[in-house]
Structure 1
Amino acid sequence: MFLTRFRVNTARPGARRLLSSPQVLHAAVMASFPGLLPSEMPAPDGPRVLWRLDQSARAEVLLYIVSPDRPDLTHLVEQAGWPAAATDPETPGWQTKPYAPFLDRLAAGQKWAFRLTANPVHYIRRKPDEPKKRTAHLNPVHQMAWLLDRQKDRGFRILEKPDSKRLLPGGTTYKKHEHFGDQYELTVRDKQGLSFDKSRSDDGTRKKPVTIVTVTFDGRLEVTDPAALRRTLTQGIGKAKAYGCGLITLAPLTGTE
């Protein structure tokens, strides 16, 4: 497994095209692997190519990729990087590191800061006689509940705030229509509604546009099951993984995340 970081040069027209559509960026990411055929589907329970866009307060846009194979991002450098600076073999325009040494060091009880961009959804039916339909969670409380409901099986638990950091006495717990308040070391931000065209079908007709809602979670967690967390870090969480969702990354706790 490999972890890759690529800084996007947002001043270039190619970058703006890539950033305008998750479908286009997905195709560019998948083109980074010479041995991967376009028709190949990842095994349901195996490692897969995951990616995520992060934008910092300094207006930097970073593309993170987790993949079973080492990528070649030369085409991304040419379209959306700094090609002249990348002529130095020591600085090809992206950074890739083996991920396995980090994954192997994960142990129960460790605490980390984390980030996840995800597509929180649930299944509902509006009428008793109609099939259930996948629908996005739009409320931050429900989005937070979506992640909390998945933490146990994914090998971690999201840390709770100490009483001294809570604005509400004792915090609150999610049960049906109750709210979380500020019980957890978890924030939900950057909700986006994305709608974009998918590639045409084999007969040339246009497919129905893809519509997803994404949010970014920032928080702190404790490792409860290292093996399960390794699977989570390499397989992702939730739906829409092809469109920049599901990749969770960890960082050391510094007190200033």
Structure 2
Amino acid sequence: MYLSRLTPDTTSHRFRRDHGDLQHMHRTVMSGFPDTEQDKRARSEHAVLWRLDSADRGFALYVQSRTRPDWDHLGDYLDQPAEVQELAPVLDAVQPGRKLAFRLAANPTKRLRYEDQRVSGRAGRRDNRYPIIKPEAQLAWLVNQGDRNGFIIPAGSDARPDVALVPGPRLTGRQTGSPKTNKVSVDPVRFDGHLVVTDAELLTAALAAGIGPAKAYGCGLLTLARARQS
């Protein structure tokens, strides 16, 4: 597994285009990887996940992948050369009982049954997945993901779960070759905090596969680091 850190030039016309449209950003990210067979999805084949973080002077674009990427073609899209590192040391640190710092940009959602859609006035929509808006419900979503993926969120000094939630603005785009009405819409939430590994195999799989929906659109990438000292 590899993790790339790209520093976009915020004055680049191409980056400003990408920043305003998830589908364009997805295409730029995938341009770092070779084409796959026609019957395979390139993102899944290369296990690509990405996340755009705010930085001191602009943005940092993180791209995780199974295949080593090539970013040389991006040229003046980047403000400085791309950094690519192997994730073996991070994966080696995933051991049961170990406490690690993490960041996750996710798209917490829920599915409504048809009866619930009728009550809420949403019946008849093809997509029955809806964003989770309330912070406590977003935290419950994360805890549930931990149960499935081999980690728990420990309590902090205030006895509350040791994680901070930062909702982001709604991100949109248009799917390639789709009608104008077929839009991509994502309501991301950034989770920063600590986790404790309960099942190394499950968490390692989650690191590779991503967590939650909208993985092609900047959500699902879980990054780990040494636990911060309190």
TM-score normalised by the chain length of structure 1: 0.79
The aligned counterpart of 2:150 is 155
1:209 to 166, 171, 183: 183
Q: Rate the CA distance shift 1:43–1:117 in 2: closer, same or farther, 3 A.
A: closer
Shift of 1:95: 1.1
Number of residue pairs matched?
A: 223
How many angstroms apart in 2 are the aligned matches of 1:232 and 1:142? 21
The aligned counterpart of 1:244 is 218
Shift of 1:237: 0.4
Does residue 1:146 correspond to 2:138, yes or no? no
The secondary structure found in structure 1 opposite 2:155 is coil
The secondary structure found in structure 1 opposite 2:139 is helix
The aligned counterpart of 2:118 is 127
Q: Rate the CA distance shift 1:255–1:37 in 2: closer, same or farther, 3 A.
A: farther
How many angstroms apart in 2 are the aligned matches of 1:15 and 1:219? 29
The aligned counterpart of 2:7 is 7
TM-score normalised by the chain length of structure 2: 0.87
Mind listing any 5+ residue stretches in structure 1 that lack a counterpart? 86-92, 172-182
Q: Rate the CA distance shift 1:195–1:60 in 2: closer, same or farther, 3 A.
A: closer
Shift of 1:208: 0.9
Aligned residues of 1:14 and 1:79 also touching (Cα < 8 A) = no
The aligned counterpart of 2:196 is 222
The secondary structure found in structure 2 opposite 1:18 is helix
Which letter maps to 1:80?
Y
1:110 to 88, 91, 98: 98
Percent identical among aligned pairs is 34
Give per-residue Cα distances to partners, 1:28-76, cap 9 Å, x unaligned.
11110124357632697x87110001113x2331111110100011233
The aligned counterpart of 1:59 is 57
Shift of 1:15: 1.8
Aligned residues of 1:198 and 1:207 also touching (Cα < 8 A) = no
Aligned residues of 1:6 and 1:64 also touching (Cα < 8 A) = yes
1:74 to 40, 58, 72: 72
The secondary structure found in structure 2 opposite 1:126 is helix
Which letter maps to 2:53?
D
Which letter maps to 1:217?
F
The aligned counterpart of 1:234 is 208
Q: Rate the CA distance shift 1:104–1:64 in 2: closer, same or farther, 3 A.
A: same
How many angstroms apart in 1 are the aligned matches of 2:180 and 2:37? 23
The aligned counterpart of 2:177 is 200
How many angstroms apart in 1 are the aligned matches of 2:99 and 2:142? 17
Shift of 1:11: 2.2
Q: Which has the larger radius of gyration?
A: 1
Aligned residues of 1:155 and 1:223 also touching (Cα < 8 A) = yes
Which letter maps to 1:74?
D
Q: Rate the CA distance shift 1:190–1:160 in 2: closer, same or farther, 3 A.
A: same
Does residue 1:49 correspond to 2:48, yes or no? yes
Across the aligned residues of Structure 1 and Structure 2, the Cα RMSD in angstroms comes to 2.4
Higher helix share: 2
Aligned residues of 2:109 and 2:129 also touching (Cα < 8 A) = yes
Does residue 1:100 correspond to 2:106, yes or no? no
Q: Rate the CA distance shift 1:30–1:38 in 2: closer, same or farther, 3 A.
A: farther
